Structure 1
């Protein structure tokens, strides 16, 4: 225990579901499930607390969730929108401390400056964080505060939803002692079952067991787990940005696809969605991978390296369609799931040639289309209307092209 430290663990409550309520307030108070449409073969990505009362949890098949709560509202995942909100959440955290470690899209831990005055300063920081997230993002964040990462994380878990819990210095072991062993981060269902079989049910009991005895369950991690159960965790908060190794999306279909035209269109949509997320992250990629799962659950993948990095969904789609059709030619079976992923990521850079505005013009067009797509999604469009291509309205796109052409011509004339 280090009484000089104050670690805050911040976790956005039911993030994907709450984000959907944020832009569709009429859904507030209703059981809401994000992850797919009723009757589909996807899984639950997020569920509102109203839906969780029916036993619905993340990772559950959509069809099972529908049986448990048929009156729920089902929505598809909009990962680009969630990333926009997550970026704003990160900015708020960075204002509070320079030591912020992002653990996932909706979860982070941060450490206050040296020798904070307990409990006044940590508690005030937690309240400010919660107030800002609610005021600026319209979301609820739960905060756990303690002298180290493990205890702050457990405090946040117990404070959900929309709560704040502070564990004063010196109370770490007392706080953890009565909790079941699986409340400790890093102890999964199998390890918890084995501990219970050995008569160890609480963290207090775990803290009393000699570390060498725990090796039968945890191996080389025994000493570390033993310390965590006592509320001891010297790990620092590491404020490093971890750029994603790849970005991609996949889709399980309501019915198996056999027609090449349907498969091609699905791959185009997945490619555009992936490209849009790459642009949002300020990344470009050069390796395109596809994943194909057939009706017998055989799952295959293939990848191709492009001649140059790209952010263009059309280029990604061209490679993805070629790769997927190679697999279809070999297997000739209906398709249950398709996935598109881009790796070999690097910061976005536009190569500008002297007197050639076309690369910049293309980037401006793609970003304008992204804004149109975001507005369409915010309006709640759930299906493609006639007169659209690759998920973008044709009419506005043509207007944008014309406007950019005129702007470019004026620039060239002035030069």
Structure 2
């Protein structure tokens, strides 16, 4: 197959550096230069929503339990999330992006793709635009952002993560094929631990190994993802930067290291899942009315249960209580190996948050 890379596209991926934690350190002098965790608590309850770079040096990262964070960094400082402040800062950042292009695809409050193939200011250079955006975010908000510049979304996103924090990485068309061949498979977006282990068991460790596999074999081994791997290792990614990208649901799930049958343990896990999911919803500035609980038993039977409320879910505790009500209606005399929850039926208009919830007539049980 002949590799055809569109060399005319100019894509930038911008990712704020430790966004929540950096905003807190900016606003509170006593937090600067110290290991902090946004979310969680010193009593060991809850999970970390974001960690400063000082905390990351100890191995602390998002979605980690507070207990584990304290073990890794006993002097870590926990701060309460200020999502209203993060949203205001995000709006300012997005306004900076819009000075250069209207083709902005936000992925969350702190991350976005920009297509600057035809930029508003007729600068012509994506690298120069990225430099200007970085300077403006620093001067106007006193924050840093890392940028990746290339001809497609996949390569730009990888590039933005290469020199964090405050990085700027350009991977031009002439370097893409060599870059992809040397890239370890676990660095491919969409390749998690399970897929990476499967690839390694097949003798696939880098892009060059992946490139040697036939299209048919990759489809056979990895299903639809096999086609994506076949294309992307050749530098082919035609996905457009889509403003106002519509996402139908946001969810989170955990596969347990051992099967669980104790209700109290399941309730504790469900509470952590709801905390982490609420953080993702806030980060993505999403509010929804439908909650879905997913449970996979030890015998691999999967059950999903959904419920809708009259108003949007406005806090983590409401999500947990509704998810718990769904869990208690399930058959709990079998061991559980996976549990997850998701929110859908998003309300995008700006409406007043409703404290508490009411069950609607719709209940998919």
TM-score by length of 2: 0.69
SS at match of 2:224: helix
The residue aligned with 2:184 is 180
The answer as to whether partners of 2:17 and 2:146 remain within 8 angstroms in 1 is yes
The answer as to whether partners of 1:143 and 1:164 remain within 8 angstroms in 2 is yes
Q: Once the 2 structures are TM-superposed, how far is the Cα of residue 65 of structure 1 from its aligned partner? A: 0.5
Is structure 2 residue 88 aligned with structure 1 residue 84? yes
The equivalences for 1:97-112 within 5 A come to 97-112=101-116
The residue aligned with 2:53 is 49
Between the aligned partners of 1:183 and 1:26, the Cα distance in structure 2 is 36
Between the aligned partners of 1:170 and 1:101, the Cα distance in structure 2 is 26
The residue aligned with 2:171 is 167
The residue aligned with 1:156 is 160
The answer as to whether partners of 1:99 and 1:237 remain within 8 angstroms in 2 is yes
SS at match of 1:57: coil
Name the structure, 1 or 2, with higher relative contact order (CA <8 Å, separation 6+).
Answer: 2
Is structure 2 residue 192 aligned with structure 1 residue 203? no
Q: 1:62 to 1:2 in 2, by over 3 A?
A: same
Q: 1:243 to 1:234 in 2, by over 3 A?
A: closer
Deviations 1:88-126 (A, max 9, x none): 11111111211111112211111113499xx97111101
SS at match of 1:159: coil
Is structure 2 residue 23 aligned with structure 1 residue 19? yes
The residue aligned with 2:12 is 8
Between the aligned partners of 2:143 and 2:68, the Cα distance in structure 1 is 28
Q: Once the 2 structures are TM-superposed, how far is the Cα of residue 345 of structure 1 from its aligned partner? A: 2.4
Between the aligned partners of 1:326 and 1:114, the Cα distance in structure 2 is 52
Unaligned 5+ runs, structure 2 = 251-274, 294-303, 330-340, 356-365
Q: 1:114 to 1:323 in 2, by over 3 A?
A: closer
Between the aligned partners of 2:139 and 2:209, the Cα distance in structure 1 is 42
Q: Once the 2 structures are TM-superposed, how far is the Cα of residue 145 of structure 1 from its aligned partner? A: 0.3
SS at match of 1:22: helix
Aligned residues: 299
Is structure 2 residue 151 aligned with structure 1 residue 113? no
Q: 1:172 to 1:71 in 2, by over 3 A?
A: same
Deviations 1:25-56 (A, max 9, x none): 33121111112111232111111111111111
SS at match of 2:78: strand
Unaligned 5+ runs, structure 1 = 247-269, 292-299, 331-338, 350-362, 367-389, 391-415
Between the aligned partners of 1:56 and 1:162, the Cα distance in structure 2 is 20
Between the aligned partners of 1:237 and 1:157, the Cα distance in structure 2 is 19
TM-score by length of 1: 0.62
The residue aligned with 1:123 is 127
The answer as to whether partners of 1:176 and 1:230 remain within 8 angstroms in 2 is yes
The residue aligned with 1:347 is 349
